[in-house]
Amino acid sequence: MMIYADNAATTKMSETAIKAMMTVINESWGNPSSLYSHGQNAAEALEKARKTIAAQIGADPREIVFTSGGSEADNQAIISAAEAGKKNGKKHIISTAIEHHAVLHTLEKLKKDGFEITLLGVHENGIVIPSEVEAAIRGDTCLVTVMYANNEIGTIQPVREIGGICRRKNVLFHTDAVQAAGHIPINVKDDNIDMLSASAHKFHGPKGVGFLYAGKGVRLTSLIEGGAQERGKRAGTENVSGIAAMAAALEEANEKMAENAARLTSARDRIIEGLKKIPHSALNGDPVRRLPGNVNFCFEGIEGESLLLLLDDRGICASSGSACTSGSLDPSHVLLAIGRAHDVAHGSLRLSIGEDITDGEVDHIIRSVGEVVSYLRGFSPVWRDLTSGKKEFIL
Ligand SMILES: *Cc1c(COP(=O)(O)O)cnc(C)c1O
């Protein structure tokens, strides 16, 4: 048995996406910038994909720039707003403590360039408080960037409300929607979004391709110098087959969204109920305002890494913290931001289940996690200290 429960890290390409990719590779492999008809086939495939993607999020095709993925889109959105702000003497940016590193590290870099960064905290359920965003906006604020849904604890942010505040205050609003796109409904106009990042491999498209939505009037800076592709906003020959596959994947994900979300939510909630029965455990994030496929728990007295290895032995692919922080000994910045103690944050488990999960697999996950946690606690010195009263339980 192999249960892939790490869809927040990446997803398997759908048959539809593979087919769309192969069609371009076989039939429209020309350079979309070439003038002869074979190049024009590729240009048509590219523009068709742009139209499809724009329609999926309520945008105009001219507002979509293709990138190499979510990280590049995040970088470009933030750098563009910073460059524009700098010209007007506005060097203050507001974001949150729970963003993806593609956002946080870009902001760190801007700090060295003299930008002031306000990182807002979150409720203990992992939700950003809109009134705090409003209170943080100043005369020199050039950007607010708040993710749509969190990649670790799955919390869905009040994006529409935050976007509305930014509109009223005349400040640009960017959202990293990499975990949201294809999973929950998004409409850039209704949600008051100026810029949005998405990545194909998080919704059953290929890796290495994504897009940045930038509304009319938003000035984008190209991060890459070269040709005039993407209306001068992103040089380099477009990844046409990847882009076509991304469009097909997003369209399909949105078509099946309601059905998938219902299925996932019911499996998710069953896993949450099951894992809650493990003593000294706690759900991370909000029980309701969370992505349909996200489960994230802390178990006191164990190490997340050993938990993952033993779950792997039982055919379960999961994650502890995010893929980018695993391998380092720092606990997840997201878990710390929701107030988890260092020790507790080390014992975290993220299960991001897929649409094809069966009832039997849900049972296997619940049973395996319970058994592995209690097995690991059996020889954990921390657990011994907790049970002997030498240390106090937090959870
Ligand atoms: C995966 C992810 C990214 C990075 O996307 P890539 O396409 O892998 O560069 C950015 N933000 C969030 C929230 C993500 O989950």
Hey, is 60 helix, strand or coil?
Answer: coil
Residues 156 and 125: beta-carbon distance below 8 Å: no
Residue range 107-120: mean pLDDT, rounded: 98
| Residues 311-352: tens digit of each pLDDT | 999 999 999 864 444 555 688 999 999 999 998 999 999 999
From 103, 147, 179, give the residue whose CB has the most ligand 1 atoms within 8 Å, as the site to mutate: 179
| Residues 283-310: tens digit of each pLDDT | 999 999 999 999 999 999 999 999 999 9
C-alpha–C-alpha distance, residues 381 and 367, integer Å: 24
User: How far, in Å, is the centroid of ligand 1 from the Cα of 175?
Assistant: 12
Mean pLDDT (the chain) is 96
| Residues 138-194: tens digit of each pLDDT | 999 999 999 999 999 999 999 999 999 999 999 999 999 999 999 999 999 999 999
From 67, 145, 147, 151, give the residue whose CB has the most ligand 1 atoms within 8 Å, as the site to mutate: 151
Crossing angle of the two packed helices 257-276 and 359-378, in degrees rounded to 10: 30
C-alpha–C-alpha distance, residues 80 and 276, integer Å: 44
User: How far, in Å, is the centroid of ligand 1 from the Cα of 143?
Assistant: 20
Cβ 304 under 6 angstroms from ligand 1: no
Strands 172-176 and 141-145: parallel
Exposure pattern of 242-258 as b/e (b: 16+ CB <10 Å)? bbbbbbbbbbbbbeebe
* All structural domains of the chain: 15-255 (3.40.640.10), 257-388 (3.90.1150.10)
Hey, is 155 helix, strand or coil?
Answer: strand
Hey, is 319 helix, strand or coil?
Answer: strand
In sequence order, what are the residues at sequence separation of 6 or more whose Cβ sits closer than 8 angstroms to the Cβ of residue 361? 1, 3
Active site residue 317: no
Helices H / strands E in the chain, number of each:
13, 12
Cβ 206 under 6 angstroms from ligand 1: no
Which atom of ligand 1 has the smallest separation from the CA of 72? 9
From 176, 212, 246, 319, give the residue whose CB has the most ligand 1 atoms within 8 Å, as the site to mutate: 176
| Residues 79-110: tens digit of each pLDDT | 999 999 999 999 999 999 999 999 999 999 99
Cβ 95 under 6 angstroms from ligand 1: no
Tokens 């993925």 correspond to what residue?
A: 69
Q: pTM for the complete prediction?
A: 0.97
C-alpha–C-alpha distance, residues 390 and 139, integer Å: 52
